[in-house]
């Protein structure tokens, strides 16, 4: 009888314990996905990853980087399928209300017409209209498209998906010039495919030098001032420039 009563008490205790809620296991935070058109193998791609890895480490947020064409970057951040992108111009926000600008510039770039033919000269961008030259620009680089379209007929101007394609066309003589961001083009020239190429040079600058800002999907608007503060502190520590040198050495 005592054993039965003892057994009943144990069974009741076990039943009570099983009814208690299980402790909730903390899920690891979801990575924050930032998009870029620069693979990790390029100089610019290495620098971007070093800079943003440190920034998100300071924010305590795991970072994931997705590589995709420039135009797709815009569409993916607009739709919220990725959380942000590494860098765009100040005015980009006007055409993309689904994104918020991080109000701390991270980079400065210039745009230029790049050529390989040493015989080509041009005094002003407007003089391009009087030539029969054929040119390309990288798809999604809106400043090049806006600057060239009024001067060059549609049959003499087209876009390419990557800077590597633009450089190949330039070096094989299929086009006379290639409009591109200086950092992106120089980054491509550091790649093994173009090792030793010395003929590519800037023919003419297009517009003024431009500062670039990170952009986030508007669903992460609250993160923008925090990321801006981190980037400002990293600049004060000269970290961005240090990462630039590190990427170049790699």
114-123 residue pLDDT tens = 999 999 999 9
Domain boundaries, the chain: 32-107+212-249, 111-205
Question: Would you say the CATH fold of 111-205 matches that of 32-107+212-249?
Answer: yes
CATH number given to 111-205: 3.40.190.10
What's the whole-number mean pLDDT along residues 59-80? 95
| CA distances for 73 relative to 59, 98, 112, 158, angstroms | 23, 13, 22, 20
Q: Is the pLDDT of residue 170 over 80?
A: yes
**Architecture field, domain 32-107+212-249:** 3-Layer(aba) Sandwich (3.40)
Q: How confident is the model at residue 217 (pLDDT cuts 50, 70, 90)?
A: very high
How far from the centroid of its chain's Cα atoms is residue 155's Cα?
30
Which pLDDT band, with edges at 50, 70 and 90, does 1 fall under?
very low
235, 108 contact by CB (below 8 A): no
Tokens standing for 18?
């099983």
Say yes or no to pLDDT of 142 above 90: no
Contact 230, 57 (CB under 8 A): no
């Amino acid at each position: 009888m005592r054993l039965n009563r003892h057994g009943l008490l144990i069974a009741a205790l076990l039943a009570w314990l099983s009814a208690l809620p299980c402790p909730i296991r903390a899920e690891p935070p979801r990575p924050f996905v930032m998009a870029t058109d620069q693979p990790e193998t390029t100089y610019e791609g290495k620098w971007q990853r070093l800079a943003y890895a440190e920034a998100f480490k300071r924010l305590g947020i795991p970072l994931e980087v997705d590589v995709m064409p420039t135009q797709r970057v815009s569409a993916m951040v607009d739709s919220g399928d990725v959380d942000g992108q590494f860098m765009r111009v100040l005015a980009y926000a006007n055409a993309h209300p689904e994104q918020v600008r991080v109000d701390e510039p991270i980079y400065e770039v210039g745009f230029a017409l790049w050529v390989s033919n040493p015989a080509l000269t041009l005094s002003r961008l407007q003089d391009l209209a009087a030539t029969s030259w054929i040119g390309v620009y990288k798809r999604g680089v809106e400043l090049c498209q806006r600057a060239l379209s009024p001067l060059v007929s549609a049959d003499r101007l087209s876009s390419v998906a990557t800077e590597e394609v633009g450089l190949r066309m330039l070096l094989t003589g299929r086009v006379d010039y290639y409009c591109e961001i200086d950092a992106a083009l120089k980054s491509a020239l550091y790649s093994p495919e173009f090792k030793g190429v010395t003929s590519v040079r800037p023919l003419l600058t297009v517009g003024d030098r431009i500062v670039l800002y990170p952009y986030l999907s508007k669903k992460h608007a609250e993160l923008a001032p925090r990321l801006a503060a981190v980037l400002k502190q990293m600049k004060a520590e000269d970290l961005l420039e240090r990462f630039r040198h590190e990427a170049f050495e790699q």
